[in-house]
Amino acid sequence: MQTKLKTLFVLIIITLTLSLAANAQAESDKFIVVLDAGHGGEEPGKVANSGIKEKDITLKIILEVGKELEKNNNIKVVYTRKADVFVDLFKRGKIANNANADLFVSVHCNAHNSQASGSETYVLGLHRNKTNFEVAKAENSVIFLEENYEENYGGIDPNSPESFVGLTIMQEEYLDQSILLAKNIQDNFTNKLKRKNRGVKQAGFIVLHQTVMPSVLVESGFITNKNEGKYLNSKKGQTEIASAISKAILKYKKTIDISFNNETVFNETDKVDEIVIPSEERNIPNTIFKVQIAAGPKKLAPKSYNFKGLKEVFREKESKLYKYFFGYTSDINKIQQMQKEAKKKGFKSAFIVAYRDGERISLEKALNSTSK
Ligand SMILES: [Zn+2]
């Protein structure tokens, strides 16, 4: 009985471990979007004379965006807040970084003492004019309400974006992708909703500075404008804006997926899929093998979350094309293993390339001429 129980117990543990592993695998394959509703709790953001508060509008829009995105099985949504609570800016970034997210989307509302209207979407960068600077400064002022902000932001001065934007090496890597998403969002606002387009802009938003993934901040509209304020505060307005944002995210995902799976950019003669190597030819000096997993016009950070979890991916530029490689070794057996690994992760067209003394050579040549 004792032994039987033990066996049963071990079996249960094995089954649990296996199913947990399978789950973890499925989860890690998902495209992770972090949705950030600006402000919250004791910090209302902008407040219009009509009484409309930014924190309420941003939360309603974000929850709608999330509802739409969650209809897609291959997308996981993470929220920085789902209720009317205060969340420090640096914690919002931490939530996104810990989730190993593919995208960070922050939603806010604008305000002005004129009847200004329209929407604009920001990526992190140095502001090109005073208006953009003022928008960032207003959003950044949130951190004055946080305890120990000097400590948590490593000397960032919220009133001087120059003090930290120069240090944004990480966001620099994601600039192209951030702009791509920002443009999708603005296009949908303009073309689908016929809203005034204030454009894709750059400014020093602290919340964008905290994340290490493509990130945008949407100023969805002016709560201080009479008509736009009403629209933003209506169920119709919130649903439409949310739908425009979620569709823009889906379109972004599609573009990124295509640039990975686009085989037409490859020269077919370069492609050697299944190779059989005689064992005596397996030790090749001066020759380096790599697995090419993707190529395309998009400059992506060679991070594992951009490449379905593959680690040690590196990028090279060839004319107008970025090529992404996995593995770097003179061992043909090892590179074949790595090709298998890449294919298993979903890079179905992953193929081995060979170099001798830095020059690209055909795989056949690499394998034939060196059986010394
Ligand atoms: Zn705001």
pLDDT tens profile 98-126: 998 999 999 999 999 999 999 999 998 77
Q: What is the pLDDT of residues 164-190, one digit of tens each?
A: 665 554 566 788 889 999 999 999 999
**Please, what is the angle between helix 54-69 and helix 235-261, to 10°?**
50
Residue 194 CA to ligand 1 center (angstroms) comes to: 23
pLDDT of residue 21: 59
Q: How far is the CA of 207 from the centre of ligand 1 (A)?
A: 10
pLDDT at 370 > cutoff 90: no
How much helix, strand and coil, in percent to the nearest 5, is found in the chain?
Answer: 45, 20, 35
Cα of 251 from ligand 1 centre, angstroms: 25
Q: Which long-range contacts (CB under 8 A, 24 or more apart) does 329-336 make?
A: 329/288, 329/289, 330/284, 330/285, 330/286, 330/287, 330/288, 330/289, 331/289, 332/277, 332/282, 332/284, 332/289, 332/367, 333/282, 335/289, 335/290, 335/291, 336/275
Instruction: Choose the weakest-confidence range: 170-174, 272-276, 283-287.
Output: 272-276
The better pLDDT of the pair 331, 66 is held by 66
Of the pLDDT bands very low, low, confident and very high (cuts 50, 70, 90), residue 266 is very low
Rounded to the nearest whole angstrom, what is the distance from the C-alpha of residue 90 to the centroid of ligand 1?
Answer: 15
Question: At residue 41, does pLDDT exceed 60?
Answer: yes
Residue 279: band (very low, low, confident or very high) from pLDDT cuts 50, 70, 90: very low
The overall average pLDDT reported for the chain is: 82
Q: Does domain 2-259 have CATH number 3.40.630.40?
A: yes
Q: Where are the domains positioned within the chain?
A: 2-259, 263-368
pLDDT digits (tens, 9 = 90+) for 181-234: 999 999 999 999 999 999 999 888 888 888 889 999 999 999 999 999 999 999
Question: How far does the centroid of ligand 1 lie from the alpha carbon of residue 169, in Å?
Answer: 24
How far apart are the CA of 46 and the centre of ligand 1, in A?
A: 7
Q: Which CATH class is domain 263-368?
A: alpha beta
C-alpha of residue 48 to centroid of ligand 1, in Å: 13
**What per-residue confidence (pLDDT) applies to 172?**
67
Question: Measured between alpha carbons, how far is 35 from 59 in angstroms, rounded to an integer?
Answer: 10
Long-range (24+ apart) CB contacts under 8 A made by 332-335 are: 332/277, 332/282, 332/284, 332/289, 332/367, 333/282, 335/289, 335/290, 335/291
